[in-house]
Amino acid sequence: MMNITRLVVPQMQERQNGLIINLGSFAAMRSLPFLSVYAGTKGFVKTYSQSLAYELEPQGIMVSHIFSFWVTSKMSGYRDPTLSVPSPEQYVECVFDRLGLRCGSSDSHTAIPYYPHSILNFVISCLWDPMHAKDAHYNIGRNLYRLGQLRQERRKSRQVYFEKAVDEELTRIKTAELRCTNTPVVLAA
């Protein structure tokens, strides 16, 4: 993200015009036990975007940090869109329709463009205080971590099943080839 920003900003500065959109996550909102690296990197995306926005705004360059919850994808595990989990197409449409607006965020240069996510953000902001809800805070992080572990285990078991099937097929082919080569050939004169 930083390297690409370094590449495009000089061109934008030359034109005195540009747009940088950095996609963040609800993980930047609060600490997440068991997902500390992910939460930390998303916290970086948020503060980096906001700092960059203040630096580049006078030069006509807009920087927007998009604060996201779940969207249907392989990573999120949600396959079908619902009211609270939009499809990527729905989400992108909301992002571009509301560019430059805060849309449910109290942070500068940050937007929560999908309306149900804005409501979710408000509820979580009011209720998710680690001092008062330590168990819930810990359990949310632990459950998200376990979900990731389960997905990895499923991927590994599918890989093992696939490798076993390939090995069996190769063995079958080799056995068939051996039968063909061991069959005596009778030449008639």
pLDDT digits (tens, 9 = 90+) for 61-108: 999 999 888 898 887 777 888 888 899 999 999 999 888 887 877 788
Q: Which of 42, 46, 91, 114 is catalytic?
A: 42
Give residue 50's pLDDT band: very low, low, confident or very high (50, 70, 90): very high
Q: Strand 110-111 relative to strand 18-23: parallel, antiparallel, unpaired? A: unpaired
Q: Which of 38, 78, 138, 145 is catalytic?
A: 38
Query: Does 156 qualify as catalytic in the annotation?
Result: no
Multiple choice CATH, 2-128, 3.40.50.720, 3.40.228.10, 3.30.420.10, 3.40.50.150: 3.40.50.720
Give the count of beta carbons closer than 10 Å to the beta carbon of residue 96: 9
CA 67 to chain centre: 12
Task: Report d(CA 120, CA 122) in Å as an integer.
Answer: 5
Query: Does 38 qualify as catalytic in the annotation?
Result: yes
